[in-house]
Each structure stands twice: as structure tokens, then as C-alpha cells.
Structure 1
Amino acid sequence: MARVQHDDGTVVERFHATSGRVTGWMAMVLAAVVVVAGVAYADDGFPLWVAAAALLVGVLAWAAMLRPALWVTTEHLVMRNLAETVHVRLAAVEEMAVRQVLVVRAADRRWVSTVVGRTWRKALTSRHRPGGLATDAALAPTEGMHYADFVEDRLHDLVDKARSREGVRPGSREHLALPDAVRREPAMVPIVLVVGSVLLLLVSFFL
């Protein structure tokens, strides 16, 4: 029987985003300029709906491009996305691959993180990782190694080690029956900001 592990939330490793950050910051800066202009020139006839639309774009840019994050704790892979944070028990991961996004299968569902990914061309030509534990050389990026390759190897290594600690074999009945395989937490702050921005935009059309 698999042993239940206690996760104290200690971060083992964080992975940086491979794309979208520059675009996200540019969108936020542009949105902020338009919002400030809307407030400054409101009495001069600046359209309120334009400022409200810019605010919505800025919020969406932050929530979709800058907020997402990916890290690993003692026992979980944590994927922070636009509307929720998903905690996937490492030992319960059934399949995992980095394509244009990171795709993880656990608890009979697919979970996606946009933090790490490959270009469409790179995703078509990327190698498939063989089964078994990753070698020590795969635990750190080497010269010329694509960062997505490093992330994929590192995550597979952490998953393999978690399975060994739990005493489960991939695809076994015990593996598929691991309790608390996935925990989801709604992201209230971005949800409230997006909804509030949409409502403000709708109201602005009638002012």
C-alpha cells in the first residue's frame, strides 16, 4: 500500500517562463498609459469605454501572461494558472510532456501549464524521453540544451523519485488509486478583477 506523505509546502524548484513575459509587460504598460490618459482627460471628452477596455486588457495580460507560475514542492507539482492553482501529487502523475505547453495527466484528467513550452516546430521535432530515472546529467541544464528539455527531464526525475518513495509502479492499481492526486484552488483575485473590469466596461457604454 502506498504511504501517505506530508507536504510542508517547501519549494524544491521553480521554473521560469519560456515566453509571454515581455508581451505581458508591454500590454500592461500600454494599458496603464491609456487608463491614466482616460482619467486625466475625462473632462475633455476622452471615451470612458476606451479606458475601461484598456483596464480589462491590462488585467487579462497580467492574469494570463504574468501570473502563471510553475514550481515543485516536496510532494506536489504546482501549476498556477489564470483562474486557479492546481496541486498535482508527483507520485500520482500518469503521463507528462512539454509540447507547446506543459501537459500533465493525473486523476484521469489533463492539466495544462502555459509557463513552459516549445515552439510549434520544436514540439514536432523534440525527442521523447525514455522510461526510467533521469540521469544525473539531466538534473541541470547543459550548454546548448533547450530549457524546455531540461524542465521535462527534471520533472520526470522528480516524479520517478516520488513514485519510488511511495512504493508504486507506473500504471499499477496502487499508482492509479493514490488518494488526493489533485487539489484545485480557485484564484479569487484575478477572477474578481476580470469580472469587475468586464462590468465596468459594460457600464461605460451607458455613461
Structure 2
Amino acid sequence: MTVLALLDYASVLVFALTGALVASRAQLDPVGFAFVACLTAVGGGTVRDLLLDRHPVFWVGQPAYILIATAAALLVFFTAHLVESRYRWLVWLDSFALSIAVAAGTGAALALDKPTVIVVLMGMATGCLGGLMRDVVCNEVPLVLKQGELYVSCALFGAATAVATTALGLPGLPALGLCALVCWSLRAGSLLFGWRLPVYKSRPPRQ
């Protein structure tokens, strides 16, 4: 099994757990849990593969990804009531899933020798779009769009780190490890210490 496949498996598992936690907050049935978990788990990777023209799409070629996401959904369905703060678990699991998925998307684009801009965008898409789909479907405020929070910017800097270190001659695996580390560190800093980006504030027009 390749490193990229392992990253995809890991991101699918952790993103599926976050999807199931959001489904628990929405009080869905087991089928709803499985749907949201699978959507979250493979959404970003599906967009990545379609844009990169990778055939077949990763979970179509290997249905085990869907089975893993469904198993994660059922696990959460039967255990979510044991968790004291599901939202706290959600945001932290999502931070890990984000960092893993950004590394997976970045690595997939690097393996195809895509231009720098495309590599960074594929890392961002893989990391952010599944969670965005999850939150929109379940009528949650998307974590991606929380006011001022570092999220998409974490994916941007993580993917850019992989591109820069690869250009400097660092092998693929350490470069992707640094990508995930930078991404997660920024997201964790936002959650723990309130790191924020400045937000736009409207001003009354001048007379």
C-alpha cells in the first residue's frame, strides 16, 4: 500500500467520525449517519480526483473506503451518547482530518507533477470540501467559514510547505509530514489560543 493510499484511508476514517458526530447533533437515523459520514469522508477526495482526472475516483476503485466510513458512522451512532462534549470532539477530530487530507491531496497532485498553484489548490480542496459539505447538509455553521478562525489558511500554508520543501529537495514522505504538521499546528493554535485572521468590518460611506 502506498503512502498516498494510507493518507486517504486515514483521512476517510477521521472525517467519517466527524460526519457521524455532526449527524448525532442533528439526531439522524443510522442511514443518515452513514450518508453524512461517507459524504464527509470522500467529498474532498472526490472533487480532487475529478479535477485531476484520476480514474477511477479513489473510493470507486477501492470500495473499502466506503465500508470504513460506514463502520465509523455506526460506531458513533451507538457510542455518541457517551461523549460529554460532542462539539469539542468534532472540532479536534476535524483538525486532524484536515491536516491528513491536505497532505493526501497535495501528495496526489505532486505525484502527477502538477504546477505549484494546482498542487496547493488540490491540497486545500481535499482538506476543506468534505467538511463543508457535511456542515451544509446538516445545517451547521461551516467550520470553514467560522468568523476569523484559521481553517482554509491552515490548508493553504500546509500545502505550500510541502511544495516548498519538495522544491528544496526534501523527499516526498517527510515533505508531506511537514505539510500535515504545519496545517494541524495552525488549526490547533486557532482552537487553543484564539489565533485569528482580521475580518472585514464595514464602515459608513463618507459624505
**TM-score > 0.5, shorter chain as reference:** no
Which has the higher Rg, Structure 1 or Structure 2? 1
Q: More helix per residue: 1 or 2?
A: 2
Q: More strand per residue: 1 or 2?
A: 1
* TM-score normalised according to structure 2 size: 0.30
Higher relative contact order, structure no. (Cα contacts within 8 Å, ≥ 6 residues apart): 1
